Structure 1
Amino acid sequence: MKDARYIVGIDLGTTNTVVAYADLDTDRPAKSMAEIKVFQIPQLTDAGVIDKKDALPSFLYIKEGHELSSDALKLPWDETTPVTAGEFARERGAEVPHKLISSAKSWLCNQAVDRESSILPWETSALIDKLSPVQASCALLSHIKDAWNHEIAKDSDSLRLENLAIYLTVPASFDAVARELTVKAAHMAGLQDIILIEEPQAAFYAWIDKSGDGWRDNVEKGDLVLVCDIGGGTSDFSLIEVNEGKDGFLELERVAVGKHLLVGGDNIDLALSYFLAAGLKEKKKKLDSWQMRGLVHSCRKAKEKLLSGDDIEEYPVTVLGRGSGLIKGTIKIALAIEDLQKVVLDGFFPVCNLEVEPASASSTGMKEFGLAYEADPAITRHLAKFISSHKDDKGRPKLPTAVVFNGGVMKSAIIRERIMEVLASWQEFAGQGTIREIDAVDFDLSVAWGASYYGQAARGDGIKIRGGLGMSYYMAIEASMPAVPGMPMPTRALCIAPFGMEEGSHAESRDRLFNLVVGEKVNFDIMTSSTRHEDSVGSVIDNWEDMDIEDLTSIETQLDGEGENFIPVTFEVKVTEVGTLEFWACSRDDDRKWRLELNIRPKD
């Protein structure tokens, strides 16, 4: 909304949600940026206790029975909500895990489940009112909306969050389905004016805002900046190239996006808990599942303290006992800094060469169904694969010349130094110079901060990064050839939206006709690629299964067409200003069009 007073950036994170805003109704020089602030989010931190924090932990606790009417769990703005979000939800949910919803964002991009079905909490058979990943995301955004309206809007309807321009961040690796579902969750929460922005770009915008006009002194033409974002639940990588524009000024373009990797700080906490549990087991002290959950929670606190840079050699960890002798059975141990460094650096950030591949999943015949966690926890090996898959004109990996770190894990100087060591070794091996670290604004808050900056830049008040789609999209089309007994008809991949297609742009393919099947149930298989940057709208790829093109989703639908079976069509595609993808099949002979919705069901 162009006339809104505030521009709001929301980082809907896997483990924490942060809100930043710029007040445009302030005196400042023309064309200068409004000051950005972080919204202090009121939330339950304990039963009956409400505090304001920089971040809202992205956890939901499902209330039941007497909790639904308990004054201790009520918020100032709502007495009827069936869930509680934030710090209390995280702490209480750790004790009652069957009522805790976490990682809703990761479930939102899980292609193997129906993301609009009530499936969370995942691993519970308790008779409670479950939520879908979309509903869980909506609940977090609803808390943000209600908290903002209670604190800032007061009696002014124009300042209510639903009446403001919202810039909502998503991982660069989110596909079109996950983006559409994110927007849907926001709309369900009552937030209608939504624009999506990629998290790595937002982190880079935060750095630009911090640097002011001096940002151009820290990068130069030809720089390739790696944005390394490692948070509590995920790791994301992007490459931003610095070019010279027509007017001689530097321009920024996002040129590569990595896959959505489910490995991060939560994995580190789990590894540390298993390390300590193994030591206890040697002393004939075996922990049950309830105690292990508590140990993971304690290890997170210990990790944060030991990696804070305060020269702490060890940090106490307490494991509560079980049964009537609860206090008597309490186990007290300590996590030493040298053990933490060994587990974290050797396990998650090992030194490796650029040609290394992440370990593949085991060949176990049966696996638990759930989130698609990475089989290899070594983040540096995933980084090697990302960088080595993006090559220059001579077929050599495009190595970054600078790096911006983001995410809670990156608060540790020890981890940042290890990643820089690995990156420098790749540069040295390839003979491509040195790499430097660009100072981040804040590893926890910069994404929301940068989203608010982008909102101002979108109005012409700042620098914009050229980005567009972070992957290419394809549709499977059945080949036109004679049938062969016993052989299924082969399919080809039709490029319907190329990498880099920008928000608000429109493209169409009129040079080739296709037969659209109408009047009966059919499937449209959608695929993606994050590395095929040369394909254009209408390109057809044979043997696509071997061409770095992967399944995304399958749309099952029945298109209207009375008395017809096949309709000759062309197609057009649009990347909306919101950041989602629209595909239309267009009749050759009249003005009929059929839109295909991407958020249907997972690929079989």
Structure 2
Amino acid sequence: MTVNSTQPAYIVGIDLGTSHTVVASVSLTGAAGDIALLDIPQRSAAGEVVALPLLPSVRYQAAPGELGDSWQQPWPPQGADEAAPAVIGRWARDLGTAVPGRLVASAKSWLSHTGVDRTAPILPWGADEEVVKVSPLAASSSYLAHVKAAWDKAHPEAPLQAQTVVLTVPASFDEGARALTLEAAQLAGLPGVQLLEEPKAAFHDWLLLQGEQLAAQLADSRLVLVVDVGGGTTDLTLIRVEADPEGGLPTLTRTAVGEHLMLGGDNMDLALAHQLEPAFADEGNKLPAQRFAQLVQRCRVAKEQLLAQDAPEQLSITLLGGGSRLLAQTQTATLTRTQVQSRVVEGFLPPAQISDVPAKRQGALRGFGLPYPADAAISRHLAQFLSLHAGGALPDTVLLNGGVFHAHALVQRLTDLLGQWRGKAVRVLHNPHPDWAVARGAAAYGLARVQAELQEKSEVNRPAVQAQQALAAIKTMIPRIGGGAARSYWLLLPGKKGQAPQGLCLLPRGTEEGVRIVLSGRRFALKLGQAVRFNLLANSQSSVPVQAGQIAPLTGDGWVELPPLATVLPVPEGLAAAQVEVQLQASMSEVGTLEVRCVAVQDAAQSWLLPFAVRGAVAAENIAASADASSAEEPKGLNSQATRLPEALALIERIFGTQAQEVTAKEVRQLRQSLEKVLGPREGWEVGLLRALFDALLARAKRRRRTAEHERVWLNLAGWCLRPGVGAELDGWRMAQVWALYPQGLGHGKEAANWTEWWVFWRRVAAGLNEEQQMQVLEAVAGQMQKTVQQTTRAGGKSSHGSYDDMLRLFAAMEAVPWQYRQEMGQWMLQRLEREGETVQTWWAIGRLAVRQSLAANAHLVMPPEAAQEFLDATLAQDWRKNETAMFAAVQMARMTGDRARDLPDAVREQVLEKMRSSGAPQRWIELVEQVVQMEAEDHKRSLGDSLPPGLVLL
């Protein structure tokens, strides 16, 4: 690499942290010889702007007029207009301490949360309706946009987008989170950033600080453990050190990284808030979500002060009241330094043995919808990590990074544990600035790349000399940390029921960046113009060497399902075939992300990059293919299902095929029974068979209207085979084909039975519809329900548009629409229940409308607890011994999720529990309301309205 007027003048490292964002840079022009921090202008109050190296990674969504004109300065303004003003940084944090319901925090954690749509406006989580929300992606992008504006103001001659920018991410971020991080940078005007794992960045900073003493400093180290505990994640990394026999720089190789562990300073704040909560809440109750969020903010500030070097003995924590009783309801409690150290040290680094493993039962550190690990003990997670990856050679050296390690007690406990496990003390590498080591290390990593490239140059020109002079001023050469890909990546292959699934290795662990691997021995038929989906998994735990192209059972621990590679690939000009034979090519890109490309066998110039499906994938992730079928009992007749599929397809062809055949109406009506004679009872048809049958029905959809019987049978059988509309390979494409049939409607609309099957079909596949599509169905069914009610209230009236019960059930299945629509419909249903003879299915529908845990939609679309209370009260007024359906509706509405934004108040749930016990409720229902547990298959079926196909599970 050479440096000239068209090339970057700076290397810039950005630590986009959960709590703070930090920027560091080094000049390549020879004008500066050290890494400098960027002081980032930000408001500290309405009339004051300060420039600080730490930019709090928070965003305050103000009310109209709340900030005056201050929200427009400094640059760029984050609100789209005065109706949605927003401010970032220190002032946002202070404003959010007083009004936490408007504060967007932990956006980085939300960006890695696969259980929500990370591109949807869901933050602040649980905020009131009047608060304008933003997506985790948009929030992350806004922090980077603020950084870009600050840099460009300070360096007008060298805009940030023209520099070498290294952006850090947790080592445990999966490919979806990395792809979204890159997209956040692009939205902020930074299209060419490189990604770097945070523990590697922290270690690069330490390497840089050693100067000419680097080799001597690492002479006695063989295995370095980097423990990086940030605001939202704990990252664990092992780096092997091999000394140079000639006294040169050592060789450094990253050998292992930990799994994604959403555990950090945020959890410590939650733990302190839980400890103080009884002092502020009424006896036996919990604080409302907004008040608890305020307490967490107060505890965060107090924690930082009480863990500081010259910490006071104690601090007062004050919560203001609300509304007209602002001062009257003000409460104060005391938090001592001893309490903080005890709660944090004993709660997060308790004594542990090297053989310990994390607990599986969910602890109490939940509060705002994020999937925190069940066990908060970092010590047990660390023990498991070292047992898996270090073997008998435990680390002899440790580098600690992150603001929590300002607390000496945490440092002491962690190093004592490592020494105990190893049998002798470990060496602790001094980190003088854990708050900004990652940003500095990102810049140092960029320097190491420049050094390596300069050493490879045979021709030295003037710009290269300038760069060498700048690097010489650093007074050290920085070794790069090798190791390549931290995980192996696998393509999931179809497996036989009762056997472990198999995978095809795309990229072995350790593959270096930029190395492209072509699976020349494996070929795939790629359909163009249709949906393509590859299911991927990653593994960082297995120590068994593998090779690209190897097929192996996916057994053991450590398998992580990645967002699928899914897209619809266009047919290139001049290529007539809708299908082309391809080979897969995989690489770890220079920016640090996995890339999978399909290369045409006949023409290598034709290739298609497969993007990760990170948008709208919630339903597919909540209803996912079971990854472990090895312990499942094989249903009877399963082996015969595959072998007898051609016979089943022949039956479908006979009824819906193109050839005119003598088929009686009775044969059409009995198609399902005929298939069951061939394949066994339909409840045992596994998902692969179901989708094969559906594809056959879809290919013959044009003939579904031959007769009214044809149409009814097609809708009934197709809905059963496609339920719940997501979860299997290519379901997105299937739903797109099905939705094209919706405007066509029924061919035999005068048949009430056909309308019933129409409603049943769309209920069964509703999870695969997006919000817009569900709204269309909802509007149609609402109108027909009104007509049905009018018809059936007349003397002897009969509905001409199908079953009222099935319309109710369809409406309740529309989980992706805004909850206000479901609330309005629920209120109409309550009015209907005042009439004699109203169907019991109305209670079932109300339970689905106000459910706490969606079956297939994003959690932020759940009806808020205060809105659900109306419907719960109605169920409580029923005699549950005589109306079990009303009791099950109450179970769905009072079910505990662990998310304060969705859970009903403890006192309300206790009221439900008391009535359940006195009414003889099943113990499994009681447990759903008492604690966070999974719903059993029988109750899933009751809640969903149908059983799930074998091979699909609701998480």
- Whether TM-score is above 0.5 comes out as yes
Cα distance in 2, alignment partners of residues 136 and 305 from structure 1: 27
Equivalent positions of 1:364-379 (< 5 A) are 370-379=369-378
Aligned counterpart for 2:442 among listed residues 445, 451, 463: 451
Displacement of 1:316: 2.6
Residues 1:207 and 2:221 aligned together: no
Equivalent AA in structure 2 for residue 473 of structure 1? Y
**Contact preservation (8 Å) 1:242, 1:251:** yes
Instruction: Identify the residue that residue 420 of structure 1 maps to in structure 2.
Output: 415
Q: Do structure 1's residue 409 and structure 2's residue 404 form an aligned pair?
A: yes
Residue 587 (1) aligns with residue 600 (2) = yes
- Counterpart in 1 of 2:94? 91
Q: Higher strand proportion, which one? A: 1
3-state SS of the aligned residue for 1:140? Answer: helix
Match of 2:521 in 1: 511
Task: State the Cα distance separating 1:123 from its structure 2 match.
Answer: 1.9
Pair 1:115-2:118 in alignment: yes
Does the C-alpha gap of structure 1 residues 163 and 546 become closer, same or farther in structure 2, counting only changes over 3 Å?
A: same
Distance 1:599 1:415 in 2: 39
Distance 1:328 1:501, change over 3 A: same
- 1:8-43 CA distances to partner (integer Å, 9 max, x unpaired)? 110000111001111233457xxxxx2011111111
How far apart are the structure 1 equivalents of 2:563 and 2:88? 31
**TM-score of the pair, normalised by structure 2:** 0.57
**Unaligned residue ranges in structure 2 (runs of 5+):** 81-85, 452-470, 472-477, 625-955
- Once residues 383 and 277 of structure 1 are traced to their aligned partners in structure 2, the CA distance between those partners, rounded to angstroms, is 30
1:31 is matched with none
List per-residue Cα deviations over 1:309-357 (Å, max 9, x = no partner): 3263222322324454544553333212222222112111101001111
Deviates more, 1:437-446 or 1:72-81: 72-81
Matched AA of 1:73: W
Matched, 1:13 2:17: yes
Match of 2:8 in 1: 4
Kindly provide the CA deviation profile for residues 517-553 of structure 1, in whole angstroms up to 9, marking residues without a partner as x: 55543431111111135222112112x1545322112
Would you say the 8 A contact 1:531–1:548 is kept in 2? yes
Q: Quick one: distance in 2 between partners of 1:21 and 1:120?
A: 31
Aligned residue in 2 for 1:500: 510
Partner of 1:272: 272
Deviation at 1:213, TM superposition (A): 1.6
Distance 1:252 1:387 in 2: 18
Contact 2:566/2:610 (<8 A) preserved:
no
C-alpha separation in 2, matches of 1:579 and 1:311: 40
How far has the Cα of 1:221 moved from its partner?
6.3
Counterpart in 1 of 2:562?
A: 552
Residue 468 (structure 1) aligned to one of 484, 503, 518: 484
Conservation of the 8 A alpha-carbon contact between 2:357 and 2:384: yes
CA contact (8 A) 1:226 1:240 kept: yes
Give 3-state SS (helix, strand or coil) of 1:256's partner: strand
- Aligned counterparts, 1:194-593, within 5 A: 194-220=193-219, 223-245=222-244, 249=248, 250-279=250-279, 289-310=289-310, 312-322=312-322, 324=324, 326-327=326-327, 329-362=329-362, 370-391=369-390, 396-428=391-423, 433-460=424-451, 461=471, 462-478=478-494, 491-533=501-543, 534-542=545-553, 544-546=554-556, 548-560=558-570, 567-591=580-604, 592-593=606-607
State the 1:136 CA deviation. 1.4
How far off its partner does 1:268 sit? 1.2
Once the two structures are overlaid, the 10-residue window that deviates more, 579-588 or 352-361, is 579-588
Whether 1:140 and 2:140 are equivalent positions in the alignment is: no
Deviation at 1:218, TM superposition (A): 2.1
Amino acid at match of 1:496: L
Structure showing greater Rg: 2
Q: CA deviation at 1:594?
A: 2.8
Question: Which sections of structure 1, spanning at least 5 residues, go unmatched?
Answer: 29-33
Shift of 1:556: 3.6
Contact 2:137 2:184 in 1 (8 A): yes
Q: Is the 8 A contact 1:221 1:243 kept in 2?
A: no
Amino acid at match of 2:582: V
**Mapping of 1:57-72 within 5 angstroms?**
57-67=56-66, 70-72=68-70
Q: Is 50-59 or 592-601 further displaced after alignment?
A: 592-601
Aligned to 2:610: 596
Look up the SS of the partner of 1:304 in the other structure: helix
Displacement of 1:453 in angstroms is 1.2
The AA in structure 2 aligned to 1:576 is S
Q: Deviations over 1:136-179 (max 9, x none)?
A: 111110000111222x12xx3x3121221111111111122222
Distance of 1:456 and 1:424 partners within structure 2: 34
Confirm or deny: 8 A CA contact 2:44 2:50 kept in the other structure.
yes
What does residue 665 of structure 2 align with?
none
Q: What's the counterpart of residue 164 of structure 1?
A: 163
- Which residue does the alignment assign to 1:101? 104
Q: For structure 1, which segment, 532-541 or 9-18, has the greater mean C-alpha deviation from structure 2 after superposition?
A: 532-541
Provide, for residues 82-110 of structure 1, a one-character-per-residue CA deviation record: whole Å limited to 9, x for no partner: 43111121221233334322111112222
Distance in structure 1 (CA, Å) of the matches to 2:95 and 2:235: 29
What is the distance in 2 between the residues matched to 1:338 and 1:541?
Answer: 52
Q: Against the structure 1 CA distance between its residues 344 and 537, is the aligned structure 2 distance closer, same or farther, given a 3 Å change threshold?
A: same
CA distance in 2, matches of 1:546, 1:220: 37
* In structure 2, distance between residues paired with 1:521 and 1:205: 43
Contact 2:97 2:298 in 1 (8 A): no
**Structure 1 residues 229, 324: CA separation in 2 closer, same or farther (over 3 Å shift)?**
same
Match of 1:310, SS state, is coil
CA-to-partner distance for each residue in 1:403-448, whole Å, 9 max, x for gaps? 10001111111101010111111112xxxx4311000131101000
Inter-partner Cα distance in structure 2 for 1:458 and 1:363:
43
Higher relative contact order (CA 8 A, sep 6+): 1
Give, in whole Å, the separation in 2 of the partners of 1:446 and 1:556.
37
Structure 1 pair 126–11 and aligned structure 2 pair: CA distance change class (3 A): same
Q: Secondary structure at the match of 2:562?
A: strand
Per the TM alignment, residue 230 of structure 1 is displaced from its structure 2 partner at its CA by 0.7
Mean Cα deviation higher: 513-522 or 313-322: 513-522
Q: Per the alignment, do residues 215 and 509 of structure 1 end up closer, same or farther by CA in structure 2, a change over 3 Å counting? A: same
C-alpha contact 2:232 2:265 (8 A) present in aligned 1: yes
Task: Give the superposition deviation at 1:65.
Answer: 2.3
CA distance in 1, matches of 2:263, 2:322: 31
Could you say what secondary structure the match of 1:510 adopts? coil
AA of the residue aligned to 2:386: I
Cα distance in 1, alignment partners of residues 299 and 280 from structure 2: 14
What is the deviation of 1:127? 4.3
1:569 Cα deviation after fit: 2.9
Work out the CA distance in 2 between the residues paired with 1:401 and 1:408. Answer: 23
TM-score by length of 1: 0.88
CA deviation profile, 1:345-391 (whole Å, cap 9, x unmatched):
21111010011111114499xx9993221111111111111111114
Q: Name whichever of 4-13 and 502-511 sits farther off.
A: 502-511
CA distance in 1, matches of 2:384, 2:499: 34
Asked whether the 8 Å contact 2:581–2:601 carries over to 1, the reply is yes
* CA displacement, residues 273-317 of structure 1 (integer Å, 9 cap, x when unaligned): 221233556999985544433332222222222221326322232
Name the CA shift for 1:245/1:110 in 2 (closer, same or farther; >3 Å): farther
Identity %: 37
Q: For 1:342, what is the secondary structure of its paired residue?
A: helix
- Counterpart-to-counterpart distance in 1, 2:288 and 2:548: 55
User: Match of 2:51, SS?
Assistant: strand
- The alignment of Structure 1 onto Structure 2 pairs a total of residues equal to 577
Return closer, same or farther for 1:186/1:77 CA change in 2, 3 Å cut-off. same
8 Å Cα contact 2:566-2:612 kept in structure 1: no
The CA distance in 2 between the partners of 1:477 and 1:518, in whole Å, is: 21
Asked whether the 8 Å contact 1:515–1:567 carries over to 2, the reply is yes
